[in-house]
Amino acid sequence: MELTKHRNFLVLSPVHFLNDLYMNFLPPVLPVILVSLALTHFQAGLLVSAVGIVSAVLQPVVGHLAEARGMRKTTMVVGMLILGAGVSLFSLAESFTLLLVTAFLISLGLSTYHPQGLAFLSEQYHKAKGRIIGLHGVSGALGFSLAPIFMAFVESSFGWQRVFSYAFLPALLAAIFLYRFLTVREVKHPLRNRLTGKVGKGLVLLGISAFIIAFVFRGLITFIPTFYVSFGESLEASNLILFATLIPSIVGAPIGGHLSDRFGRLKVIALTLVPIAPLLFLFAQTPGSFGPVLLFTIGLFRALNFPVYLAHASDIASLGEGGSSIGLVLGSVFAAGAISPSVVGYSIDIFGYQTTYQLLAMLALVSAVPVLLALRLRRSKRLSPM
């Protein structure tokens, strides 16, 4: 592999790692915050929701405007600076209200990287975008998956607030790295209305499915540490189980992307969604000895389909609008990530963990329905007269 040909991939990967590490720093320390501030599960979930809510709204908007104005690289650089500042301020806040306010700033920073970064790679690796998006996902999966281990370590050794008060420094270095080494050809594209016809319907169906399964998975992983801590496990052991749920992304993301290049995006998504529901229902019944194994398997199937959603969004986009379409799907994912923790936390307060996980299992099964409808829509489009 020629380094010059893959320069952007090599530049984006470490930035993706840092972005997704910051994205998942909060759930591992929720047990500590929950006790220190005497929060309910709903309030703890609301903090996680706040991190995702602005990003959920702005992902498609930022992707669209950055492309329309030819400012994709600048958008990523500024977003990384905002993200680092937000995490630093969050770690310094000492009340629930201040934590909530700074969580919105973090969410603003998180709205900028993925639509632009994935659009760059989709354009450069057009014939193998599923594989390259999957490989790119490895760096993000590493950051997201290692966050529980890293946070448990820094909490026990130094206190997480002390360490993350310096979060702006690596974000500043990442912003400088992007500005200096990322090479892109910026072209302004006029704003268009893409949500019309069968292409628009397919994108909407894809976004609905992405929303539902992201709601399920985010709600599950947010409370894994608190769930196992409530059973008497240590914070370190509980976060190790969360790590086991997330680490399959390192292998699953590139495999899922590669399979979708060969066998079709929607088929791979559908086949990897269906097993999640029975596995999650079984976890609700037997969270003890087999729980970590079941969580690992659920994480693997989720890892297989996540990059395929993004690759398919790029497939059905118009020329120069990959970031916008990817942003729409990612907006659905982030919206689910914003809503799910507070809703799931509220459900746990009322019904307990087991019933809540059973409800999530039923939702996981529903997530396959829009994909099956999209498959049917695609077949009817092929069969329609030219």
For residue 319, name the pLDDT band (cuts at 50, 70, 90): very low
- Does 322 score more than 80 pLDDT? no
Q: How far apart are the first and last CA of the chain?
A: 41
pLDDT computed for residue 339 by the predictor: 87
The mean per-residue pLDDT over the stretch 101-119 comes to 87
Looking at the chain, the whole-number percentage of residues with pLDDT higher than 70 is 90
- Residue 15 contacts residue 311 (beta carbons within 8 Å): no
Residue 372 confidence (pLDDT) above 50: yes
Predicted pLDDT of residue 380: 63
Q: How many Cα neighbours within 13 Å face the side chain of 199?
A: 11
Task: Name the superfamily (CATH) of residues 7-182+192-383.
Answer: MFS general substrate transporter like domains (1.20.1250.20)
Residue 349 to residue 254: CA distance in whole angstroms: 37
User: Are the C-beta atoms of residues 174 and 14 closer than 8 Å to each other?
Assistant: yes
Question: CA 177 → CA 4, 20, 32, 143, distances in Å?
Answer: 16, 17, 34, 18
Residue 66 and residue 62: Cα distance in Å, rounded? 6
Phi, psi of 70 (to 5 degrees): 65, 40
Which DSSP symbol is given to 158? T
- Dist CA 158 CA 184 (whole Å): 40
Residue bearing the bigger pLDDT, 252 or 288: 252
Q: pTM, whole model, 2 decimals?
A: 0.73
CA–CA gap between residue 37 and residue 124 (Å, rounded): 48
Give the rounded percent of residues in the chain with a pLDDT score beyond 90.
32
Torsion sign (Cα): 371, 373, 374, 379: positive
Instruction: Give the per-residue pLDDT at 386.
Output: 39
- pLDDT higher at 73 or 56: 73
Predicted pLDDT of residue 197? 45
CB-CB contact of 177 with 52 (8 Å): no
Number of neighbouring beta carbons within 10 Å of residue 191 = 12
Contact 311, 107 (CB under 8 A): no
Report the candidate in 52, 49, 119, 120 with the shortest Cα–Cα distance to residue 83. 52
Q: Where are the domains of the chain?
A: 7-182+192-383
- Residue 318 DSSP code: P
pLDDT of residue 120: 79
DSSP state of 147: H
Can you read off the two tokens belonging to residue 153? Answer: 């370590």
Q: Measured at the alpha carbon of residue 211, what is the angle toward residues 201 and 130, in degrees to the nearest 5?
A: 75
Average pLDDT of the chain? 84
pLDDT the model gives residue 30: 83
Write down the pLDDT at residue 246.
87
The whole-number pLDDT of residue 210 equals 93
pLDDT of residue 385: 46
Mind listing the pLDDT tens digit for each residue in 121-145? Answer: 877 776 677 778 888 888 988 898 8
